[in-house]
């Protein structure tokens, strides 16, 4: 990488860069997949992620439970401990049967939110979301929602009225071909305007086949202009379910190039510090 790119990468690292979104799978001799997983990724351990973190200058990190494990959060919790409970947090998957005792155990293990994956489930169950939101509200957790852009439009009122904050995954999977004034963009900007919604500026999954990262740059800038205090960044390592696995460092450098230093400081560090309770 040339000197100008190196400076872009070094700038956020100097203020405690936080990767708010990556997954661990395995080690499979300790944490095997269930008999019929929703998908079967290659092993991607906390030790392997640590090398990525060292290379990119990541100081803090958030392990997001992989959907293939369902509500068995053991691998995620183990990764938090390996990476260090002072510098790592977790996002769990629960269901309506999860006990209060289990929620408190997860909290002690570093969990600060739950993930709902409407992409995998193909639909949004409003009653289930309300139930889980009520279950976690007392703990001060948030809901991290992975949903299609049209689902966010359809259920914006539900998300706005929940008793917890909401983090939108992957730029809401917005389609850049539909333009900046599409209904989904307006819906997400309205949610951000409530002050109780956050968005992860992980945009590569929104690109059409053959698309380039700069297609998403105008959308990233609009999100950041609308809610500079509630934009987050994550690697999405190891990029599960991608036919062509992107280069993690290249994605990082592309996002760095979109924003100036003050915004990078917020997106890569300060905002995550507040949301996940890092000290």
Run of H or E including 53: helix 46-56
Exposure of 57 in the CB half-sphere (CA atoms within 13 A) = 16
Report residue 213 as tokens. Answer: 């990262």
Is residue 200 classed as helix, strand or coil in its secondary structure? strand
- 209: alpha, beta or left? (left if phi > 0; alpha if psi -120 to 50): beta
Is residue 199 classed as helix, strand or coil in its secondary structure? strand
Say how far apart CA 34 and CA 38 lie, in whole Å.
9
Nearest to 68 by CA among 117, 109, 122, 101: 117
Report residue 204 as tokens. Answer: 């590569």
Q: Report DSSP letters for 138-158, one per residue.
A: TTT-EEEEE--HHHHHHTHHH
**Residue 78 is a catalytic residue:** no
Say how far apart CA 274 and CA 25 lie, in whole Å.
27
| Long-range CB pairs of 81-86, under 8 A, 24+ apart, other chains included | 81/109, 81/110, 82/46, 82/47, 82/50, 83/46, 83/49, 83/50, 83/53, 85/109, 85/110
Is residue 61 classed as helix, strand or coil in its secondary structure? strand
**Active-site residue identified among 86, 236, 247, 260:** 236
User: Which residues are catalytic, by number?
Assistant: 236
């Amino acid at each position: 990488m040339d000197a100008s790119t190196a400076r872009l990468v070094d700038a956020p690292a100097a203020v405690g860069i936080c990767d708010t979104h990556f997954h661990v799978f395995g080690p499979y001799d300790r944490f095997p997949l269930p008999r019929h997983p929703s998908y079967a990724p290659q092993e991607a351990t906390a030790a392997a992620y640590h090398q990525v973190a060292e290379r990119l200058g990541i100081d803090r990190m958030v392990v997001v439970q992989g959907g293939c494990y369902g509500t068995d959060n053991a691998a995620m919790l183990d990764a938090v401990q390996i990476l260090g409970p002072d510098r790592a947090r977790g996002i769990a998957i629960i269901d309506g049967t999860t006990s209060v005792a289990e929620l408190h155990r997860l909290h002690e293990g570093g969990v600060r939110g739950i993930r709902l994956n409407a992409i995998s489930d193909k639909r949004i169950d409003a009653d289930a979301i309300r139930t889980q939101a009520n279950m976690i509200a007392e703990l001060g957790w948030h809901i991290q929602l992975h949903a299609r852009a049209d689902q966010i439009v359809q259920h914006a009122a539900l998300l706005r009225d929940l008793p917890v904050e909401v983090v939108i995954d992957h730029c809401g999977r917005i389609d850049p071909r539909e333009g900046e004034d599409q209904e989904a963009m307006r819906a997400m900007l309205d949610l951000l305007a409530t002050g109780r919604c956050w968005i992860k500026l992980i945009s590569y999954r929104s690109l059409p086949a053959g698309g380039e990262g700069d297609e998403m740059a105008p959308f990233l800038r609009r999100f950041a202009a609308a809610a500079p205090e509630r934009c987050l960044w994550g690697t999405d390592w190891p990029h599960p379910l991608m036919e062509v696995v992107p280069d993690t460092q290249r994605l990082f450098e592309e996002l760095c190039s979109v924003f100036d230093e003050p915004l990078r400081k917020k997106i890569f560090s300060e905002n995550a510090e507040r949301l996940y309770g890092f000290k």
